[in-house]
Amino acid sequence: MVINIVTAVLFLAVPAPLIWLCVKVKWLKKVGIVLLCYLLGMIVGNLGILPESFITSADSGESILSLLQSITICVALPLVLFSLDLKSWFKNAKKGMLCMLLATISIIVVTLIIHVTIGRGDPDSPQFAAAACSVYTGGTVNLGSIRQAVGMSANDYVIFNTYDSVISVLYVFFLSTVGQKFFVRVFRMKPYEKPVLKEGEEESGSGIDESVYAYREILRKKNAKGLIAAFFLSVLIFIISYVLNMLASKVDSSLGMAVMMLSITSFGIAVSFIKKVREINRTFQLGMYIIYVFCFSVAASADFRALLDFKPVIFAYVFIGIIGSLLLHAILSKLFKIDTDTMIITSASAVCSPPFVPPVAAALNNTDILISGLATGVVGYAIGNYLGIAVNYLYKLF
């Protein structure tokens, strides 16, 4: 027990030296804190130095590592949202929802192609297609419920989840590093352009300092009182949302996470309308620090050794499902004149779920797309399982 507590504390402390290094070393600042957390997390997670009891699920439920991931992202999201407003969302709402629709169409088309080619002859292929459609519109949290709905075996579930964990980390790493330049140069997609402000109109999200130097302000005595209050307010939002999650799960197990993420996002945005909360200094930085812990812990949970248990059909649905749908999504987005950043954040939200939106937005240096990415991700949560069940029955016809 003691070693697990010590390990959890060390996880919470990891971003601090990385931020310090980014301040001191110019080329590391260009790499970015998000990517450093992913890289270090993948290294630590695959060296075999983490306590087994820390990374393995107990009989009673989630592992400590998984629990750390869930708590950090749920507490961090409201803190990030406190400093934003809805102007950017209202200006990009239609574009964001259209982009989500294109992402959904992309994964349906790609899984159908896999089913009639690679999956032909495999009686479980419709189940894997259903899982891919459900997960890559609403995120990994949908996998557990869709498994029950389509009758996927425990062994196939573990293999699918393992492939998804590893490839998703690499996918997010790609989006956060060269993805933006890749789609602009190769697909000739248009770059993101900030909305043109009318005379006298303030810029949405103004006042947010995204530089690494701003994190030093978290430790300033003058900011301590406000940040402590904001932190406990965020924890309160998490607790309320968790209770709503439990109530919704009693009605329908597939609704719990969707309700929880919708509640956290909605409460976070609603509280941002309170001027005193919105003007608390450095809530964005505090939220992002906690998100860096989330990024590190997610990367640490990706066990590359598990890829040795190779099952071609499942690997195809995960790898081609992610990469193929991303490329088709980019093509469709170009046809509908959707910019690169909106496409990337929507794809990240659909494939990996809303918790991955803030780190990807931070890597893109674009907070304008944050609310749009979270909103489309919540939509993905809501439709993912229904889509997966429909696909399971539909693909059985082919």
Contacts of 107 (CB under 8 A, 6+ apart): 132, 133, 136, 137, 321, 325, 350
Distance CA 183, CA 249 (A): 39
In this predicted structure, the answer to whether residue 199 has a pLDDT above a threshold of 90 is no
What pLDDT, on a 0 to 100 scale, did the predictor assign at position 206? 40
Q: Find tokens 């934003």 and name the residue.
A: 84
Q: How far apart are CA 194 and CA 397, in angstroms?
A: 46
Alpha-carbon span 91 to 368, nearest angstrom: 10
Helices within 117-251 (DSSP H only) = 125-138, 142-150, 154-174, 180-185, 221-251
Instruction: Output the average pLDDT for the chain.
Output: 84
Give the percent of the chain with pLDDT over 70.
88
Q: Which burial class, exposed, middle or buried, applies to 393 when counting CB atoms under 10 A from its CB (0-12, 13-18, 19+)?
A: exposed
Q: Position of tokens 């294109």?
A: 102
Are the C-beta atoms of 238 and 306 separated by less than 8 Å?
Answer: no
Q: Which domain holds residue 74?
A: 2-54+62-193+217-395
Predicted pLDDT of residue 396: 83
Please report, as a single letter, which amino acid is at residue 5: I
What was the pLDDT predicted at 204? 45
Identify residue 27 by its one-letter amino acid code. Answer: W
Looking at the predicted structure, is the pLDDT value of residue 302 above 70? Answer: yes
Q: Tell me, what's the pLDDT at 16?
A: 92
Can you read off the two tokens belonging to residue 313? 């059909």
What's the confidence (pLDDT) of residue 58?
61
Which residue is it, tokens 């080329």? 27
Give the CATH number for residue 236: 1.20.1530
Q: Inform me whether the pLDDT recorded for 134 exceeds 50.
A: yes
- Give me the mean pLDDT over the 190-209 stretch: 59
Count how many domains the chain has.
1
Section 13-30 average pLDDT: 87
Instruction: Please give the residue that has the higher pLDDT: either 298 or 189.
Output: 189
Instruction: State mean pLDDT over 377-394.
Output: 83
The reported pLDDT for the residue numbered 87 is 60
Distances in Å between the Cα of 199 and the Cα atoms of 88, 91, 208, 298, 316 are: 16, 16, 21, 44, 52
| Percentage, residues of the chain above pLDDT 90 | 32
- pLDDT-derived band at 205 (thresholds 50, 70, 90) equals very low
| Distance from C-alpha of 189 to C-alpha of 283, rounded to nearest angstrom | 33
Can you give the pLDDT at residue 34?
A: 77
Q: Is the per-residue pLDDT at 239 higher than 90? A: yes
Q: What single-letter DSSP state applies at residue 311? A: -
**244-292 tens-digit pLDDT:** 989 988 877 656 776 887 788 789 888 888 888 888 888 888 988 998 8
Residue 204 is assigned to a structural domain of this protein? no
* Distances from the Cα of 142 to the Cα of 61, 83, 172, 197, 279, angstroms: 17, 30, 18, 39, 36
Q: How confident is the model at residue 149 (pLDDT cuts 50, 70, 90)?
A: confident
In a domain, 205, yes or no: no
Tell me whether residue 209 is in a domain: no
- Is residue 331 included in any domain, yes or no? yes
Whether residue 323 is contained in a domain is answered as: yes
pLDDT tens sequence across 92-111: 678 888 999 999 999 999 99
- Distance of alpha carbon 311 from alpha carbon 303, whole angstroms: 16
Q: HSE, CB side, 13 Å, CA atoms: give it for residue 198.
A: 2
Residue 156 has pLDDT above 90, yes or no: no
Read off the pTM: 0.72
Residue 12 tokens read as 């919470």
In this structure, is residue 199 part of a structural domain? no
Q: What is the pLDDT at residue 120?
A: 85
Token couple for 332: 């469709």
Residue-wise pLDDT for 332-384, tens only, equals: 999 999 999 999 999 998 998 777 888 888 888 888 888 888 888 878 877 88
Whether residue 41 is predicted with pLDDT greater than 70 in this model: the reply is: yes
Does some domain include residue 202?
Answer: no
User: Which of these ranges, 134-138, 149-153, 181-185, has the smallest mean pLDDT?
Assistant: 149-153
Averaging pLDDT over each range in 68-82, 200-214, 224-238, 283-297, which range is the top one?
224-238
What is the distance between the alpha carbons of residues 327 and 320, in angstroms, rounded to a whole number?
A: 10
Instruction: Give the helix ranges, DSSP H, for 151-194.
Output: 154-174, 180-185
Q: Examine residue 136 and state whether it is found in any structural domain, yes or no.
A: yes
